[in-house]
């Protein structure tokens, strides 16, 4: 007969594997929205999101060069301001054991990495699961100053440092 300790250990292992073993199913989308004065808005998007599960963490990653704002000069400024040559990736890392497969929206804290700096960041997400496939949609509010990014002023217009980032993707067991 197994000891209570081994049953407890087995229970923890099973609970930690609840979201483990997920692989990305199809593509995904990452977005950001920024605001400036007088209703000025910037919307950036990328359809080249990567989701990876190492059994311990789920990592959602996008290359900054793949983010498009529909304006070539703005894209260039974004890459310069985020030091994309030195830090080409933006990543959110979330402990797999903390994820829930139903209900929502859920609030969690993950590690957001941008401009070579990491910060624990609260985000919300909603999973929609059917069988072995889950569609995940989530968002977080970020302040670019928290990641050492200086806000550029161009032609007298300065975007606010607070942005909203979002992601939508599918994973399958």
Is 95 buried (19+), middle (13-18) or exposed (0-12) by CB count in 10 A? middle
Are 89 and 114 contacting, i.e. CB atoms less than 8 angstroms apart? no
DSSP state of 100: -
Alpha-carbon dihedral angle through residues 40, 119, 96, 14, given to the nearest 10 degrees = -150
The tokens of 12 are what?
């923890």
What domains appear along the chain, each with residue ranges and CATH number? 4-172 (2.40.128.110)
In order along its 173 residues, the chain shows pLDDT tens digits of 444 343 333 333 333 334 458 899 999 999 999 998 988 999 999 999 999 999 999 999 999 999 999 999 999 999 999 999 999 999 999 999 998 888 889 999 999 999 999 999 999 999 999 989 999 999 999 999 999 999 998 888 889 999 999 999 999 98
Quote the radius of gyration of the chain (alpha carbons, Å).
18
The tokens of 116 are what?
């070579």
Are 99 and 107 contacting, i.e. CB atoms less than 8 angstroms apart? no
Kindly report the pTM of this predicted structure: 0.83
């Amino acid at each position: 007969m197994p000891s209570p300790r081994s049953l407890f250990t087995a229970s923890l292992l099973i609970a930690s594997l609840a979201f483990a073993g997920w692989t990305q199913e199809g593509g995904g989308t990452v977005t950001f929205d920024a605001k400036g004065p007088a209703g000025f808005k910037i919307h950036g998007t990328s359809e080249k999101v990567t989701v990876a599960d190492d059994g311990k963490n789920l990592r959602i990653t996008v290359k900054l060069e793949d983010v498009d704002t529909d304006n070539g000069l703005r894209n260039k400024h974004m890459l310069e301001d985020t030091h994309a040559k030195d830090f080409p990736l933006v990543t959110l890392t979330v402990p797999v054991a903390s994820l829930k497969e139903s209900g929502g929206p859920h609030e969690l804290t993950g590690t957001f990495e941008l401009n070579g700096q990491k910060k624990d960041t609260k985000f919300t997400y909603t999973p929609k699961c059917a069988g072995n496939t889950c569609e995940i949609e989530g968002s977080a509010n970020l302040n670019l100053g928290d990641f050492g990014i200086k806000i550029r002023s161009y032609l007298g217009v300065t975007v606010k440092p607070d942005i909203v980032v979002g992601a939508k993707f599918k994973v399958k067991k």
